[in-house]
Amino acid sequence: MYGLQEINKEYNRRGDAVVAFRCDRLEIGAGEYVAVVGPSGSGKTTLLSLLGGMLSPTRGKVWLDGQSLYDLSVAERTRIRRQRMGFVFQSFNLIPYLTALENVQLPLVLTGLPATEQCRRATALLDRFGLHGRLGHKPNELSVGQQQRVALARTLVNDPRIILADEPTGNLDPTNRQLVLEILDESCRSGRTVVMVTHDPEAARHAHRQLRLCDGAVSEILVRNSTTKSGDAA
């Protein structure tokens, strides 16, 4: 699935090069559930952006199913994101003037799917997430937990094979937090690859493997019931 090779991502701050993320080698297999943990500023979101085709490395290669992701054109990377990836953000990124149903339908609009099929798929997911009575509500008419469930439904409506989640439980109460984790667990059981950035130790324990970052590098790899020290490699 994913392979990172001799990656270095740097930013220029006041004339100085700052390393945001570096990694000699990292592999993430198809169907794997990986949690990325570490303090703020350790490179977690940078890694997620690299995997999502949204942030090109300063040096090195990001491989996705044998393709060098950043040797593709911007249009080709956009197509891969649209067809194969789903993104979950702590801020939800719902469009405020669209209803819950319209927000979930949006990725399907971009595929050219007939409107009746768009509506059927979006309605089925919202119903599954307990939101059938909220189809016509706009984001500001929904609770925080309901907004996150709408955002998750939008992520899954295209049946992505890869889910990249950035602090998906950060703003949620215990009930909605548990629901989100169950959805991610189920997504992995169905064969999807899940990479989740989180500060939540309990959420991280749902993953097959934890990558602990420190100062932009992988410092530790925790597999369920075992721990491995790692300089830059996994």
Question: DSSP assignment of the chain, as one string?
Answer: -EEEEEEEEEEEETTEEEEEEEEEEEEE-TT-EEEEE-STTSSHHHHHHHHTTSS--SEEEEEETTEEGGGS-HHHHHHHHHHHEEEEETT----TTS-HHHHHHHHHHTTT--HHHHHHHHHHHHHHTT-GGGTT--GGGS-HHHHHHHHHHHHHTT--SEEEEESTTTT--HHHHHHHHHHHHHHHHTT-EEEEE-S-HHHHTTSSEEEEEETTEEEEEEETTEEEE-SSB-
CB distance 192 to 206 below 8 Å: no
Q: How confident is the model at residue 221 (pLDDT cuts 50, 70, 90)?
A: confident
Answer whether residue 233 shows pLDDT above 80: no
What pLDDT band is residue 234 in, cutting at 50, 70 and 90?
very low
Residue range 209-221: average pLDDT? Answer: 91
pLDDT of res. 230: 67
Spatial separation of the C-alpha atoms in residues 42 and 216, rounded to whole Å? 5
> Is the distance from CB of 36 to CB of 22 less than 8 angstroms?
no
Report pLDDT digits (tens) over 29-59.
Answer: 999 999 999 999 899 999 999 999 999 999 9
How much is the pTM?
0.91
Question: What does pLDDT average to over the chain?
Answer: 92
Q: Which amino acid is at 221?
A: I
Using one digit for the tens of pLDDT, what is the confidence trace for 174-187? 998 998 999 999 99
Burial 194-208 (b: 16+ CB within 10 A, else e): bbbbbebeebbebbe
Query: Can you tell me the mean pLDDT for 21-33?
Result: 95
Distance CA 234, CA 230 (A): 7
The pLDDT confidence band at residue 147, using thresholds 50, 70 and 90, is very high
Mean of the pLDDT values across residues 86-112? Answer: 92
Q: Which domains does the chain have, with CATH numbers?
A: 2-229 (3.40.50.300)
Per-residue confidence band for 105, with pLDDT thresholds at 50, 70 and 90: very high
- Report the percentage of the chain scoring pLDDT > 70: 96
In percent, how much of the chain has pLDDT > 90? 76
Q: Are 167 and 90 in contact (CB under 8 A)?
A: yes
**What confidence score (pLDDT) does residue 214 get?**
93
**pLDDT classification of 17: cutoffs 50, 70, 90:** confident
From 82-91, 145-154, 221-230, the region with the lowest mean pLDDT: 221-230
